[in-house]
Chains A and B, each alone.
Chain A
Amino acid sequence: MSAPLSGPVLVLLDHHDDAVRPSVLELLTAARSFGAPVHGVWFGDGLEGALDALAGAGVEQVHRVGGLGDAAHLAAPAGDAVAEVATLARASALLVTSTFENKELATRVGVRTRAGVVVDADDVALEDGRVVAEKTVFAGTWTTRCVVTTPLAVVALKAGSIQAEPAPAPSTPQVVDVHVTPSGQGRVATLVERTERPASVRPELSEAQVVVAGGRGTNGDFSAVEELADVLGGAVGATRVATDEGWIGHDAQIGQTGVTVAPRLYIGAGISGAVHHRGGMQASGTIVAVNSDPESPIFEIADFGIVGDLFTVLPQAAAELRRLQG
């Protein structure tokens, strides 16, 4: 084991009501590997219902931030609050799940504390007392390793990058209440309206182990894509063409301007494999492509490619998998 960190590792505890998001358990697993005490930061209500899960993941202290109200959804006030917690706790590292919102929060923490920030990381480790993050860049074609050289290291880790494991022994998390007042008036944005999207019955796209995605080739009929996703217990994704056409919600868009996914299994159907799309899925474990055009660029990166009609191939695969599952 290399030199330890001087202070605790702080983890942003994203949650839906009183349930922590699955990716948080991955962050906590990474945090424990640093050999320093693991702390969490929680915004708003519901913490009591999550304490068991946090104990199982070895969290020693939870900093519960109240008093922000809706402003907790905005990067500036939320980031300022996390910066305050990190400073008070003398944290050496902060780990968050890499979403657009959290990347902004992490940036704000970086501005406030002068911490170095690495986002979209696939892996993070402590080496010789320094936080080292690994990330794939350029549409999944390159891997880089970055050392954070500041006393506080901030890393945004992509969901699904590492396997969540329970702590060897559960902890008894101490809850510390932190009350922050939204900073002054004037130079801040106000949240006029926020409409939560109803939660899907399928797994969250960015966190799913299996993603089945459809493109223009579906011609608007996503039933075959959805059927296969459901047999595999996966999430449904799409290309921008499909979301622009209104065939499926914009939140299903995979790619450089949508969600980045790195599931164990990605299946793309009726998708040509444009570089903008590849940027959001090329780091997936196994890539399967079904496309009627043998010249489609998606085949260049597919582990298993099928030249064929998605409307026959997908239902046949779904039926066979159901049969095998008995």
Chain B
Amino acid sequence: MRIVVCVKHVPDIQSDRTLGADGRVVRDGGDGTLNELDENAVEAALELAATDKGSEVVALTVGPPDAEDAARRALQMGADAAVHVLDDAVAGSDVFATATVLAAAIRRVGAAGPVDLVVTGMAALDGLTSMLPVALAAELDLPALTLAAEVAVDGGAVRVRRELDSASEVLSAPLPALVSVTDQANEPRYPNFKGILAARKKRVEVLTLADLGVDPATVGTAGARTQVVGAAARPVRENRVLVTDDGTAGLKLAAYLVERKLV
């Protein structure tokens, strides 16, 4: 089985994340990491690959120079190869443009041998739209089995279980297909010493839009269907009250809620 796993480099969510005047994420802080939820995607890809001898897992990222770290992290976890699409024209892409670029890169990986499965995380912890998996599947004309809490491949078909707000579902589709996995799907492995050493010997292949045959005018800010026209840090909450319970805090809470007309 050949599996491509999509990994995104995002600002560390524990850091102070900011937006620039252009409404774009400031990505030069140096405190970026592999999107935590993509660790679940890598783990799922590795586990599925382990069920089928001779499988290959290719990690794919689209992003600025720092994004190589995300690809490297996937290699350390055990991915066999990595591809990094690096091109200034990609900056400012919306979901659809990002999907176009990822799809072109996956087709290129597919030229060396068919790709059976594309695995993504459930959301990137910066954009957090959870739109990309569906957009990418549509670009590649693959069935999308999203938000998998469980995933299995058997007899040329993939089957997932997912927990939605109002229902629990089981979906299945013949391969090739795209799956997005949630943080419930597995417990991501921590790269061990052997994995870290092995990753050093692996190369991250860097590709540009020209390599992929993608017209720069269709992506990035130029191709975006939405435009950020304003971005501002939200004011910190004022008039905050902190009380220590002296046996009457519950009464104070009730009074606060009544006074604020919240009941």
Contacts and interface: CB of A to CB of B under 8 A. Distances in A.
Interface of A: 73-76, 79, 99-101, 103-104, 106-108, 110-112, 114-120, 132, 136-150, 186-197, 204-206, 210, 232, 250-251, 256-257, 259, 264-265, 275-276, 279, 286-288, 290, 294, 299, 301-309, 312-321, 324-325
B22 to A, nearest CB: 11
B14 A320 contact: no
Given A104-B134, A256-B128, A306-B243, 5 more contacts: A107-B131, A111-B135, A142-B234, A146-B226, A257-B122
B226 A308 contact: no
Given A117-B225, A141-B17, A275-B13, A314 B250 contact: yes
B51 interface: no
Contact of A107 (B14, B134, B232, B247): B134
B147 interface: yes
Interface residues of B, number: 82
B96 A110 contact: yes
A101 B184 CA distance: 18
Q: Is the interface of B mostly helix, strand, loop or mixed?
A: mixed
- Closest 3 A/B residue pairs (Cβ): A316-B250, A308-B245, A116-B225
Interface stretch (B73-81, B107-115, B169-177, B192-200): B169-177
A107 B95 contact: yes
Contacts of A250: 163, 184
Interface centre among B125, B142, B145 (most CB of A within 10 A): B125
A210 B250 contact: no
B257 interface: yes
A16 to B, nearest CB: 8
Contact of A306 (B143, B234, B245): B245
A112 B135 CA distance: 10
Nearest to A233: B263
Interface centre among B165, B168, B170 (most CB of A within 10 A): B165
B138 A139 contact: no
B19 A144 contact: yes
Nearest to A150: B225
Interface of B: 13-14, 17-19, 23, 37, 94-96, 122-123, 125-126, 128-131, 133-135, 137-139, 141-147, 159, 163-174, 177, 182-184, 224-234, 237, 239-245, 247-258, 260, 262-263
Given A149-B226, A313-B245, A320 B250 contact: yes
Interface centre among B18, B241, B248, B254 (most CB of A within 10 A): B254
Contacts of A120: 128-129
Contact of A110 (B135, B141, B142, B254): B135
Contacts of A150: 225
B142 A187 contact: yes
B29 to A, nearest CB: 13
B173 A316 contact: no
10 contacts: A100-B130, A110-B131, A115-B225, A119-B131, A146-B23, A189-B172, A197-B167, A257-B37, A265-B257, A316-B254
B230 A145 contact: yes
B102 to A, nearest CB: 13
A286 B261 CA distance: 11
A308 B244 contact: yes
